[in-house]
């Protein structure tokens, strides 16, 4: 799975840097976008296997961006994992209803993240 393309969409530079570092260290081809708009632009030329999506961002938030990606046949197959501080009852259901394939609550367990990402990539349906 080394070299698999991954996109991190997060408006928090520290979160983006940490996630990027952890995954690049494992050999993934990691790109980052700080906004939903930036992610859409990047997706015109970069096709990730998996997106780690912050759900709470200004502008196009993770919910809207995920809905758009899952509605488009060209991006529907990308695995989208919600990475969010939303951890209340019903929040996981909300992100799944938006189209997310998985859910990770913040703060992220940095020891488990690479294993979680690897499992989603290996279990995806092309």
Q: Which domains does the chain have, with CATH numbers?
A: 5-123 (3.40.50.2300)
Per DSSP, 88 falls in state: S
105-108 long-range contacts, CB within 8 A, separation 24+: 106/15, 108/15, 108/18, 108/19, 108/83
Per-residue confidence at 87, pLDDT binned at 50, 70, 90? low
Q: Does 86 score more than 70 pLDDT?
A: no
pLDDT beyond 80 at 124: no
Would the pLDDT of 11 be above 90?
yes
């Amino acid at each position: 799975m080394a070299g698999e393309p991954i996109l991190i969409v997060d408006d928090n530079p520290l979160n983006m840097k940490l996630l990027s570092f952890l995954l690049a260290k494992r050999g993934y081809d990691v790109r980052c976008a700080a906004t939903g708009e930036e992610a859409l632009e990047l997706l015109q030329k970069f096709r990730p296997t998996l997106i780690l999506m912050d759900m709470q961002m200004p502008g196009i938030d993770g919910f809207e961006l995920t809905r758009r990606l899952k509605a488009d046949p060209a991006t529907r197959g990308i695995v989208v994992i919600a990475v969010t501080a939303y951890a209340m009852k019903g929040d996981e259901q909300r992100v799944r209803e938006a189209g997310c394939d998985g859910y990770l609550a913040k703060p992220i367990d940095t020891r488990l993240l690479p294993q979680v990402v690897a499992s989603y990539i290996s279990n995806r349906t092309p």
